[in-house]
Amino acid sequence: MQRRSIIIGIAICLVLFWYKSQQNRLNRRRVKYGPMLPRNLDREARLDRLYNGTEANCLSELRMQKSVFHRLCYHLRSRGLLVDSTYVSVEEKVAMFMRVVGHRWTNRSIGFEFMRSGETISRHFHTVLDALCVLSRDLIKIRTTETHPKISTSTGRFHPYFEKCIGALDGTHVPAFVPIEMQDRFRGRKLHPTQNVLAAVDFDLRFIYVLAGWEGSAHDAIVLQDALSRPSGLKIPEGHYFLADAGYATRPGILPPYRGVRYHLKEFQGTRQPENPKELFNLRHSSLRTTVERAFGTLKNRFKILTSQPFFPLKTQVKIVLACCTLHDFILDNGPDIYVYDDETWYQNLPRSNRSRADMLQDNQQWAHMRDELAQKMWDEAQL
């Protein structure tokens, strides 16, 4: 009996010792070793002005509103994706990351601004990058298959013809930095190396699928085929579809316009009205599909690292594209801002696709026939 009591007493002591050591370890994270140096005080003042200053400064420097920035930091912290270290808070880590992707600042420039070593900046940049890639699983996905209000509230123009449409997809080219022996593969219609990024967006401009990393010389149809064939790739709900441009073939889940027929909105400006069912279908298709072009425009307008050649390894460049799309969705979930193009502004500066190659695959006859029926129905009802 006495031996049993001794064993119980020892066990209790060990548990208390473990609990006390854990408490001491957690408390040590918050300890500031010695008085703060003048540079630390200066850094704290700069950071406070950066994300607690004016709304305009936060939008300009951190590419999002103050409330959204703090909500993002809270979300990453509460999910356990980022933690405060002894000397660097989650807010500072995210701020450094935003300076890189938002303004394309170099490691040395951020080191000077934040008074940190290059190793510290690089380490925290990749920590935030990995955290956002994990967060992408929750944000970059199909939210609903219900008919979007943009379609349902436009009776006679979009509804009921596009009621099963859940978004639009397209490819965009992002400048890439690759070794010289790989540059030919990454140089397509651009003069410089690029990676071909396939993305699908919904009608709220949120990305619901992103596939980055393909060579710039790869045809968009090949990239799409890869996305559809991957186990965790693009999954299109049965009976629904995405709008695509004429570079893609008609296939289940993908509805492009008619080739060789007037399509772009600028071709219908003034008094030039559709003259047959195919032109009418293309006009309405184009008006709805510009959603994906607006999303790309907003993304590149906010994150300047996507508009110029980066200075990271290719694997990191691919992750940066995914992280930027994740941030884009998170920001839009919390309301639009100055970087989001509205319809009127977008149409005033409407870009025109310069795609010169068509999909090598033949049109799926069933879906091509469905497109013909939609076009004829539009035309017949427009003549009433």
- pLDDT for the residue numbered 203: 95
Determine phi and psi for 129, rounding to 5 degrees. -60, -45
160 upstream amide cis, omega within 30 of 0: yes
Instruction: Please work out, in degrees rounded to the nearest 5, the angle formed at the alpha carbon of residue 147 by the alpha carbons of 144 and 149.
Output: 105
Distance, in Å, from the CA atom of 154 to the CA atom of 191, rounded to the nearest integer, reads 41
Distance, in Å, from the CA atom of 222 to the CA atom of 196, rounded to the nearest integer, reads 11
Which runs of consecutive H residues, i.e. helices, occur in 65-140? Answer: 66-78, 90-103, 107-114, 118-139
* Strand 165-175 with 241-243, pairing: parallel
CB–CB of 180/206 below 8 Å? no
Beta bridge partners, 377, equal none
Instruction: Please work out, in degrees rounded to the nearest 5, the angle formed at the alpha carbon of residue 332 by the alpha carbons of 328 and 333.
Output: 115
CB–CB of 217/188 below 8 Å? yes
* Nearest Cα to Cα of residue 114 among 126, 100, 132: 100
Distance, in Å, from the CA atom of 273 to the CA atom of 279, rounded to the nearest integer, reads 9
Beta bridge partners, 195, equal 174, 215
- pLDDT for the residue numbered 31: 44
Query: H or E stretch including 217?
Result: none
With H, G, I as helix, E, B as strand and everything else as coil, classify residue 134: helix
What are the domain boundaries of the chain? 38-139, 149-382
Q: Which two tokens stand for residue 27?
A: 């408390």
Phi-psi region of 190 (alpha: psi -120 to 50; beta: other; left: phi over 0): beta
Split the chain (384 residues) into runs of 10 and give each run's mean pLDDT. Answer: 72 74 58 62 89 91 94 96 92 96 93 92 96 97 94 93 96 93 86 93 96 92 93 93 93 92 62 81 90 93 94 94 97 86 62 50 82 92 82
Sign of CA dihedral 317, 322, 323, 328: positive
- pLDDT for the residue numbered 356: 45
